[in-house]
Amino acid sequence: MKSSSSHLVAESVAIKEGEEDTFGCHLQKRRSINYNMICDIKKDGRKRKEKDISWLEKFVQKGTQITAPVPMAPPGTTGMGGFERPSSRGSTLRSDASAALNIGVLHLVPTLEEFPLLADPKMYEPNTIDLLDHGELEYWVTVLSEHLPDLVDKAVASEGGTDDAKRRGDAFAHAFSAHLARLMEEPAAYGKENEASLAVLPDLLIELDSMNQEDRLLALIEGVLAANIFDWGSRACVDLYHKGTIIEIYRMSRKKMQRPWRVDDFDMFKEKMLSSGDKKSQPYKRALFFVDNSGADVVLGMLPLARELLRRGTEVVLVANSLPALNDVTALELPEIVAEAAKHCDIIRKAAEAGGLLMDAMVSIQEDGLKNHSTSVSLMIAENGSGGPCIDLRQVSSELAAVAKDSDLIILEGMGRAIHTNLDAHFKCDALKLAMVKNQRLAEKLFNGNIYDCICRFEPGKEQL
């Protein structure tokens, strides 16, 4: 455990001061606390089978007792690390002058593979100690807590013992201690956002399928915008997390979906999606979905929208971070989310199998069901090569660059990818930029609007004009 905690500090202790409006008081994402500990903490898996109530009401029951994870770092700090993380085989770091600034892992491109000598990879479990055992959990959390001051002292010394290093060390110690305390009180706390959202996904899909295609497309875009409120990168949202549960925040967000939005190009997007004369609408060959946050954002927002394009014959590539940042979902986490969703949806299941995400059949689907939603298009996942909440498209993973060549639609979601970066970016193909503005200054400066305004910007590709 000593070496594990030392590695943790090496990755997370350097908490640099960030922008007040966006990266003010947040932590490294839950996975960077201690991977070997967190992967031991299993979801309780209990799923209630409510009937005769809406998916949103079920979400209330699932989420009422789930307090949104609250970043605990002091104001003026950020969870983005300042140390370079050792790269895996085949990975590259940006070679220009910015790399010398030691600004983190924004340009790491990892190539991780399964170790080929495992006798049974499916049965492989790396952890020896089960931390669901309260006694074991208490012991190891105590070890980490007692060892923390010495580790912070050494990390600060390695940075020259400057006042700035001491400030960052204190910020890390405060944040890490808060996470340990929460793990003791609620061992399965991390991951419940995805669990609660996946539990009500089937009901949401049924509700969507009952709509005509125009109403359904609007509801899908509204769902993406509403769910984008779950963002640790916004101080305003962090304040909300202190005051309410996940479902309470989501309900508030849904109420703000009245059109017209601050930027509202939905009708242009709808025309491109649905206008096809007498032919079945299939405007796009492949769509790149740059997803943002875990939990409701990806599960109840972007995944249902991806499903809609899949049903219309468009290949979909879910593009996610290579490494953790804030509460952004990573490419490593997406296959599990897709696999759970596939248990309840034929469209997602068939597309995931076609994309190589499901090697074995996960659910038994009757032939009649397959006929209703048959599809040969693929649902795939690609790493973006980033370890931050924004994305610099001048340098992405080779994997993303390869799948992008045949894409004719880009969907950028969230403040980091669609507003802080790439708001003014122009693309060869069509682009849809979706975000809820969660900072008052940005809302006023960029859109002459207010906090929680919604942005739906559709831009035809330069090569299609």
| Residue pLDDT, tens place only, 78-118 | 333 322 333 333 333 333 333 333 334 444 545 557 778 88
Given pLDDT bands bounded at 50, 70 and 90, which one contains residue 61? low
Bridge partners, residue 413, by sequence? 434
Residue 54 has pLDDT above 70, yes or no: yes
Domain extents in the chain: 2-41+70-185, 192-464
Question: Alpha-carbon distance 269 to 262, whole Å?
Answer: 16
Contact 436, 454 (CB under 8 A): yes
Q: Where are the alpha helices (DSSP H) in 288-364?
A: 296, 303-311, 334-342, 346-354
| Domain 192-464 CATH assignment equals 3.40.50.10880 | yes
Q: What is the pLDDT of residues 229-265, one digit of tens each?
A: 875 545 555 555 555 555 666 666 777 688 999 999 9
- In this prediction the pTM is 0.67
Question: Alpha-carbon distance 140 to 162, whole Å?
Answer: 31
Strands (E), 331-447: 379-383, 409-413, 430-436
Contact 33, 148 (CB under 8 A): no
Question: Alpha-carbon distance 340 to 205, whole Å?
Answer: 14
In terms of DSSP bridges, do strands 379-383 and 263-264 run parallel, antiparallel, or are they unpaired? unpaired
Distance of CA 185 to the CA centre of its chain: 25
Q: What is the pLDDT of residues 259-279, one digit of tens each?
A: 999 999 999 999 999 975 445
Q: What is the arrangement of strands in the sheet containing 454-459, beginning at the earlier edge strand?
A: 263-264, 454-459, 430-436, 409-413, 286-290, 315-320, 379-383
Triad 157, 162, 165: Cα angle to 5°: 70
DSSP string spanning 72-111? -PPTTB-S---SPPPP-TT-----SGGGGG---STT----
Q: What is the pLDDT of residues 116-157, one digit of tens each?
A: 888 988 888 887 888 778 899 899 999 999 999 998 999 899
pLDDT at 62: 67
Question: Alpha-carbon distance 117 to 110, whole Å?
Answer: 21
